[in-house]
Chains A and B, each alone.
Chain A
Amino acid sequence: MGYRRARNAASLLACAAMVVAVAGFAPRPASTPAAPTITSVGKFVYVNGVDTQFVGTPGLFKLSDPGSSVTGYYYALVGSEPDIFVPAGSDGTATHHSG
């Protein structure tokens, strides 16, 4: 049995960006989730470590971990420990804009 729950966070830069988190959810014995995958999606695509966009370009990032039993994500910008939780949504997808 398997189904997907999605959640999303937001954030970014002096420009407004958004993070969309999509979590794979499949009940199984407790184990440490695998490291998630971060993918830039949306109109303006960022490439990890490459300057593909100008300052002020909104970014949209999808967080996924389909191989693990996860209920959400913690994230952070800059260099701090991830401490902002992205709660699970009930409709499969959700978005949250940073203000």
Chain B
Amino acid sequence: MIHLTVSAVDGTNGLRSPDTTFDIVVSAIANIATLAWWKLSAGHGTNAADSTGFGKTAKLSGDAKQNCLKAAAPDGFRCSLLIGGGGGQAIVTPSLLPIIGNDGSFTVSAWVNLTKCAFSCVALSEDASHVFQFAVSLQRGCRAGGKTGPCWKLTMPVEDQQGAFEVHAASAPGTAKFGKWTQLIGVFAAAHGMILLYVNGVLAGQGPGQVWAGPAPGLVRIGNLTPGGTKHGWTGRISDVCLIFNALQGADITLLYKGDATHPHDGCAAVHARYH
């Protein structure tokens, strides 16, 4: 429940009225809704529009720019966000509340094409107060099953405290490829205490996840991790990013990866259209 609290004021004498509160309650029936969506395909400019119409504009900084190629990416867009490894990013500042939060289920999606990465490179994340709420990234040296190599990861700290333990859902070492368009879907299924990572529409890893409330309206970062800089910066392209309320599964994951007849290859558009 969200409380909208209002007080009237007479600016001529500074007197304020008693508060009035309106309790905004949303249905307990779990629906699916696209809460923010950036195609990043304008090809120019320092702002990337939110295609949901909710006005969550992403502002480009540093060496991040919207740039076009001759050939379209698998999502159908020829233009995408290009970051040169200098710590650039596209930042979205919510107004009062997080766009999505770890207090409930969510799904995030991005098409990525990473040129290189020294250690950890973050495609998409959301800030908390002291850490971050989630991060979708490539880690250069993942280890599992006796193998070492690059993997895709969805990471969530277990609380909003410095040094908090982090849980992961990761693809197998060696499965993350450089210079190749890849679609990443991260899912937090709060009711099941699970986080899941899908790579090109296929479940690639899962792990435990737990609910905690992000206390502040954290920034959403495309191509970086709080507090910014080059440590976790991106070198390459990112396209068609969307944040969705609730945990998609099954056919909806496929829809988000492939799109549909009306929105071929553009899964964000297909999901938004289905549940709008």
Contacting residues, chain A, for B12 (C-beta < 8 A)? 30, 69, 71
CB pair B9–A78 under 8 Å, yes or no, is no
Does residue B33 face the partner (Cβ distance < 8 Å to A)? yes
- The answer, among A51, A80, A99, for a CB contact under 8 Å with B28, is A51
Residues 190-220 of B, flagged 1 when their CB comes within 8 A of A and 0 if not, give: 0000000000000000000000000000000
Does residue B20 face the partner (Cβ distance < 8 Å to A)? yes
Residues 65-92 of A, flagged 1 when their CB comes within 8 A of B and 0 if not, give: 1001111111111111110110010000
Tally A residues with Cβ within 8 Å of B.
Answer: 57
Interface residues of B in 101-158 (CB under 8 A from A): 101
CB pair A51–B26 under 8 Å, yes or no, is yes
CB pair A58–B54 under 8 Å, yes or no, is yes
CB pair A98–B8 under 8 Å, yes or no, is no
Does residue A1 face the partner (Cβ distance < 8 Å to B)? no
Measured CA separation A92–B269 after assembly (Å): 37
CB pair A33–B24 under 8 Å, yes or no, is no
CB pair A34–B17 under 8 Å, yes or no, is yes
Across the interface, name the chain A residue whose C-beta is closest to B12: A71
Residues 16-35 of A, flagged 1 when their CB comes within 8 A of B and 0 if not, give: 11010001000000111111
Q: Is the interface of A mostly helix, strand, loop or mixed?
A: loop
CB pair B2–A99 under 8 Å, yes or no, is no
Measured CA separation A98–B92 after assembly (Å): 12
CB pair A65–B8 under 8 Å, yes or no, is yes
Does residue A8 face the partner (Cβ distance < 8 Å to B)? no
CB contacts between A and B, total, < 8 Å: 174
Contacting residues, chain A, for B3 (C-beta < 8 A)? 77-79
Q: Is the interface of B mostly helix, strand, loop or mixed?
A: loop
CB pair B11–A51 under 8 Å, yes or no, is no
Measured CA separation A10–B57 after assembly (Å): 15
Give min CB distance, B220 to chain A, whole Å: 11
Give min CB distance, A16 to chain B, whole Å: 3
- The answer, among A19, A49, A70, for a CB contact under 8 Å with B17, is A70
CB pair A77–B4 under 8 Å, yes or no, is yes
Does residue B162 face the partner (Cβ distance < 8 Å to A)? no
Measured CA separation A79–B97 after assembly (Å): 12
CB pair B4–A99 under 8 Å, yes or no, is no
Interface residues of B in 10-63 (CB under 8 A from A): 10-13, 15-29, 31, 33-35, 52-57
Measured CA separation A89–B195 after assembly (Å): 47
Contacting residues, chain A, for B262 (C-beta < 8 A)? none
Among B13, B55, B95, find the residue whose CB has the most chain A CB atoms closer than 10 A: B95
- The answer, among B20, B25, B96, for a CB contact under 8 Å with A77, is B96
CB pair A30–B13 under 8 Å, yes or no, is yes
Sample 7 A-B pairs with CB under 8 A, ordered by A number.
Answer: A15-B33, A16-B52, A30-B15, A32-B15, A36-B8, A57-B26, A99-B57
A-B interface, 5 closest residue pairs, ranked by CB to CB distance from nearest:
A56-B33, A16-B54, A98-B95, A71-B11, A33-B17
